[in-house]
Amino acid sequence: MTTSPTSLDHALHAIADPTRRRILGALKRGPASTTAPAIGKHAGLCAGDIEERVHLSQPTISHHMAILTKAGLVDAEKQGQWRWYRRNEKALRRLVKGLRTQL
Amino acid sequence: MTTSPTSLDHALHAIADPTRRRILGALKRGPASTTAPAIGKHAGLCAGDIEERVHLSQPTISHHMAILTKAGLVDAEKQGQWRWYRRNEKALRRLVKGLRTQL
């Protein structure tokens, strides 16, 4: 499967920002507690966990999470009052592969 | 050798734009004539060649070439009245590798 130009554009825009790469790094390390719910195969982080790790305000994090989610690099799931996030590893691999092919 | 965050930021910003990826594609195909001078190991393209291939105005191309050159993804060399450009393959490989490592 090849990455279409449009999805590659969105993904590259998303990861061109160093803060969003830091957030992806925080999500990679996964949850500290064992109480975090599993989203799909992997445990996720809520916005509060991300806030603690990257030291940014809640609105700033919401802004970045919206871009990462729209680009398909992060999956979000609402459970009760909280929204949980996890990396979409398949999309991240596809991004690197698509870039290598197109460059 | 690892890509420093700053150079990776510049490189990702440069290739996040689809027009600049088209320009890198045009440079990959190389010169049509055999009269283009070799810059380093590879033959280069002048701004006029790039203009013909990507169908954009000269100022627009100059703008994009400045960003690609500053990011280190393209090398530029002035010969007489003309400026010749070629891809920096090493930097492009380093970008993909750095991204894969950081993501």
Give the nearest chain A residue to B12 (CA atoms). Answer: A16
Which residue from A minimizes the CA distance to B17?
A9
- Confidence check: pLDDT of B34 > 50: yes
> Is residue A92's pLDDT more than 90?
yes
- Closest in B5, B15, B95 to A18, CB measured: B5
pLDDT top residue among B83 and A35: B83
Domain positions in chain A = 5-102
CA distance A98 to A4: 8
CATH assignment of A5-102?
1.10.10.10
Helix (H) or strand (E) holding B95: helix B89-102
HSE-up (13 A, CA, CB side) for residue B9: 9
Q: Are A77 and B80 in contact (CB under 8 A)?
A: no
Q: Where are the alpha helices (DSSP H) in chain A?
A: 5-15, 18-29, 47-54, 58-70, 89-102
- In tens, the pLDDT along B54-69 reads 999 999 999 999 999 9
CA distances to A43, B22, B43, B66 from A102, in Å: 33, 9, 20, 21
For residues B31 and B99, which has the higher predicted lDDT (pLDDT)?
B99
User: A31-51 in b/e burial notation, b at 16+ Cβ within 10 A?
Assistant: beeeebeebeebbbbbbebbb
pTM of the model: 0.81
Q: Which has the higher per-residue pLDDT, A86 or A39?
A: A86
Q: Please judge whether A25 and B95 are an interchain contact, meaning their C-beta atoms are less than 8 angstroms apart.
A: no
Separation between Cα atoms, residue A44 and residue A77, nearest integer Å: 9
How are strands ordered across the β-sheet holding B45-46?
B45-46, B82-87, B74-79
Are A23 and A68 a contacting pair, CB within 8 Å? yes
In angstroms, the separation between the Cα of residue A95 and the nearest Cα of chain B is 9
Backbone angles phi, psi at A34, to 5 degrees: -95, 5
The percent of residues above 90 in pLDDT, for chain B, comes to 60
Query: Residue B13 burial by CB count (10 A; 0-12/13-18/19+): exposed, middle or buried?
Result: middle
Q: Is the ipTM of this complex over 0.90?
A: no
pLDDT band at A37 (very low <50, low <70, confident <90, very high): low
Q: What pLDDT is stored for residue B3 in this prediction? A: 47
